[in-house]
Structure 1
Amino acid sequence: MFDHHTPAAANTGARLAAPFDVTFTDVRGGVELRYVSGEQVVRRLNEVLGVSGWSFRILRHDIHGEADEAWALGELVAEIDGRTVVRQQFGSQKLKRSRSTGAPLDIGFDLKGAATDAMKKCASLLGVGLYLSRKESKDVRPVLSGAKRLSGANGGPPMR
């Protein structure tokens, strides 16, 4: 992620990746997810890189009718220890609809949510909040060199 050969680079990477004091929790599909807000991510980028040390823009956006969601492809450009770093990532948000008519309530708001999601995901590629995405599984075990490959319950690959 960063060239940690210089103390400044290691410090910048550590400051970007530092855990947040406050996180939020949401349950989706029966899975509990921890996350931070878009405001927290912007604040972290401003504090570590400076207000003029990064920028974000939407490259493309659309509404996916079948999935009933807005999506956006975002690009984050950052100056980190004298180098320009560019990261791109997609974000999405389910469309909010009227309960009575089923019509979308505010497409602009849904696109803004998708853009914020894209920005947060781009920032995670620089380490911001990345620890919140860590996958933990009791079924995955390290395979030692020369050992047989672990398989899942049905003889397939281990679940990840």
Structure 2
Amino acid sequence: MNDEKNLVTEEEAAQYRLQYLQKFLGLSEEESRTLVAVLTQSTPKDWIQERPIRGGGTAKYVPGYRFIQKFNDAFGFLWSQEFPELIREGNEVISKGRWSLQVPGRTVTRTHSDGMVETARFDGFSVIKEQYGSAEIKRYAQNIFAKDKKGNTLKDANGKDIIRYKQGDVMDLGNDFKAASTDAMKKCGTELGMFLDVYGTRETAENAGPTDTQLQAFYKRASDISKNEEEANAWAAERLGKPLKEAKQQEVLGLVADLIDIKKEEKK
């Protein structure tokens, strides 16, 4: 049997999507079509930028403010974004993002041809998307010396140059957490169909295997709850339904967060 014959066509899927939006969001057909178009339209070329990636090469991406612009265009400033978990692990920061849209309840009244009036009440509900984002902690590549207003290097009492920031010092941890949170927000946006022509056609970080830093973080957190490497691998395989070596970066980030939560529960 050819499985492709059992797949619905794109036209059928699009029609079903419109009916779903009309039924559960209370939108008209025209409003539903507009919402889908706003979320899934092709990304303007001048919105797409490139950045270097680990291992060499570059990857295309869309800046975070464009996601915010798209959310506002689609949902009229009524959406919300939370970051309930911020984790510093080794030389990486992790942020759990939770995007949500509150759909209010509504009452629909319909009069039938025989004069009977039918009233239906739809309860309100929330649309929620959750994803983990990550960012590498940025550090100074060399010593940064203190300067006066004229740009002259300041000296200490012994005549030595005063170092303001040492090589290897963290530059701005808050900014790193912001980058990780933006990464999480973007991933939530792609779950709504945004910019898939950019993020859906290349191998992104969340689809790649875990980095050595992430695996080290995983085994360290596992050891915190008294699991050796073999036990940690078995625990991960049970959680994921596959060996840890086959896990994606996003999945390993989730495991690290789960281990931290387990440790917190043990301390209570």
Q: Would the aligned equivalents of 1:13 and 1:126 in 2 still touch at CA under 8 Å?
A: no
Deviations 1:90-138 (A, max 9, x none): 111111001122121111110011011111111111111122122369x
Structure-2 residue corresponding to 1:58? 83
1:20 equivalenced with 2:39 (yes/no): no
- Answer yes or no: is 1:75 the counterpart of 2:85: no
Q: Are 2:174 and 1:131 equivalent residues in the alignment?
A: no
- Alpha-carbon RMSD across the aligned residues, in angstroms, is 2.5
Cα–Cα, structure 1 residues 79 and 3, in superposed 2: closer, same or farther, change >3 Å?
farther
Q: Which residue of 2 aligns with 1:86?
A: 128
Change over 3 Å in CA distance of 1:59–1:77 after alignment to 2: same
AA aligned to 1:63 is R
**Higher relative contact order (CA closer than 8 Å, sequence separation 6+):** 1
8 Å CA contact retained: 2:43, 2:197? no
Residue 80 of structure 1 deviates from its aligned partner by 6.6
What is the rounded CA distance, in whole Å, between the counterparts of 1:23 and 1:85 in structure 2?
27
TM-superposed deviation, 1:9: 3.0
Decide which of 181, 188, 192 is 1:122's aligned counterpart: 188
Identity %: 28
State the alpha-carbon separation in 1 of the partners of residues 49 and 74 from structure 2.
22
1:48 equivalent among 71, 74, 77 = 74
Structure with a larger share of its residues in strand = 1
Gaps of 5+ in 1: 138-160
Q: How high is the TM-score relative to the length of structure 2?
A: 0.46
Render the CA deviation track for 1:74-102: whole Å, top value 9, x for unaligned: 00002579763100001111110011221
- After superposing on structure 2, the runs of 4+ consecutive aligned residues of structure 1 that deviate more than 3 Å are 79-83
Amino acid in structure 1 at the alignment position of 2:75: L
Q: Check if 1:30 corresponds to 2:56.
A: yes
Q: Distance in 2 between matches of 1:103 and 1:120?
A: 28
Q: Say if 1:93 and 1:136 are closer, same or farther in 2 by CA, change over 3 A.
A: closer
SS across alignment from 2:17:
coil
TM-score (norm 1): 0.74
* Aligned counterpart for 1:96 among listed residues 119, 129, 138: 138
Higher Rg of the two aligned structures: 2
**Larger helix proportion, structure 1 or 2?**
2
Alpha-carbon distance between aligned partners in 1 of 2:52 and 2:104, rounded to the nearest angstrom: 38
Give the match for residue 8 of structure 2. Answer: none
Q: Distance in 2 between matches of 1:120 and 1:136?
A: 15
Relative distance call for 1:98 and 1:125 in structure 2 (3 A) is same
Partner-residue secondary structure (3-state), 1:11: helix
Aligned-residue offset at 1:31? 4.1
